[in-house]
């Protein structure tokens, strides 16, 4: 995990309720963030599209939902960033020296499109971050034990043979390990990358679309704020 008293960050779980706004998550967000001491009216949300668009936000974006974006970053204090996730990977970024925070939603498409690398490049270009100063935490997600794919999407992972597991006639992919490899390839220190061991499918405290197959998606919320 990222250890710093300069940021507040974390995520909800199933007991906190549905967090997707369009599916009635506003009240749950109000309760959850009030308990965290985070002002809901300041919250900047990402409207997810399972792509690789990362958006820099400022004070004028407080309280807004940023359309068609899978990642947010800022150097503004008291401007909380958030996004929802169920089985996809929530990625937290922090550069303590430059005071920059970032949050990314990475499904398998976003992983293949290297959205994590895009976030790092944005931090470097927009805020002059150095890769050696960036810490990354990969939150709870669908771990390799349950991220099974079919032959039709296997070609998307041809660059990551070591992260593909063939078992009992099935194909599994370790998405977090791919993200870790991508980040290390651009210079993020291995000791600055932490990966949650929590699997959203295995652990009932999380919503999991693949496990529960609900009519409407149920999701946790991930957040990060610079103090």
Q: Is the pLDDT of residue 139 over 90?
A: yes
- 30-34, 50-54, 117-121: range with lowest mean pLDDT: 50-54
Q: Which of 116, 124, 101, 134 is nearest to 7 (CA)?
A: 101
Residue 198 class from Cβ within 10 Å (0-12 exposed, 13-18 middle, 19+ buried)?
middle
Q: Is the pLDDT of residue 44 over 80?
A: yes
Give tens-digit pLDDT for 16-43: 999 999 899 999 999 999 999 998 999 9
Q: Which of 180, 202, 174 is nearest to 117 (CA)?
A: 180
Q: Is the pLDDT of residue 51 over 90?
A: no
Q: Report the alpha-carbon angle 114-115-117, nearest 5.
A: 70
Domains detected in the chain: 7-141+176-226 (3.60.140.10)
Whether the CB-CB separation of 127 and 98 falls below 8 Å is answered with: yes
Secondary structure (DSSP) of 60-122:
GGTT-EETT-SEEEE--TT--EEEEESSSEEEEEEETTTTEEEEEEE-HHHHHTTHHHHHHHH
Residue % of the chain over a pLDDT of 70: 100
Whether the CB-CB separation of 94 and 7 falls below 8 Å is answered with: yes
Give tens-digit pLDDT for 171-225: 999 999 999 999 999 999 999 999 999 999 999 999 999 999 988 999 999 999 9
């Amino acid at each position: 995990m990222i250890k710093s008293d300069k940021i507040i960050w974390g995520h909800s779980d199933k007991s906190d309720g549905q967090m997707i706004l369009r599916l009635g998550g506003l009240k749950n967000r109000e309760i959850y963030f009030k308990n965290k001491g985070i002002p809901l009216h300041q919250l900047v949300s990402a409207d997810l599209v399972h792509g690789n668009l990362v958006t820099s936000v400022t004070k004028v974006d407080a309280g807004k939902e940023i359309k068609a974006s899978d990642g947010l970053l800022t150097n503004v204090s008291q401007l909380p960033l958030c996004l929802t996730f169920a089985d996809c990977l929530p990625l937290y970024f922090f550069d303590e020296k430059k005071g920059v925070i970032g949050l990314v939603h990475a499904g398998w498409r976003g992983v293949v499109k290297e959205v994590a690398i895009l976030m790092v490049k944005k931090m470097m270009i927009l805020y002059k971050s150095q890769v050696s100063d960036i810490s990354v935490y990969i939150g709870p997600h669908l771990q390799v034990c349950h991220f099974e794919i079919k032959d039709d999407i296997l070609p998307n992972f041809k660059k990551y043979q070591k992260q593909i597991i063939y078992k009992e006639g099935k194909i599994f992919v370790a998405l977090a390990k791919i993200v870790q490899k991508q980040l290390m390839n651009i210079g993020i220190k291995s000791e600055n990358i932490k990966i949650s061991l929590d699997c959203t499918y295995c652990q009932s405290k999380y919503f999991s679309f693949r496990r529960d197959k609900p009519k409407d998606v149920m999701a946790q919320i991930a957040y990060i704020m610079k103090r």
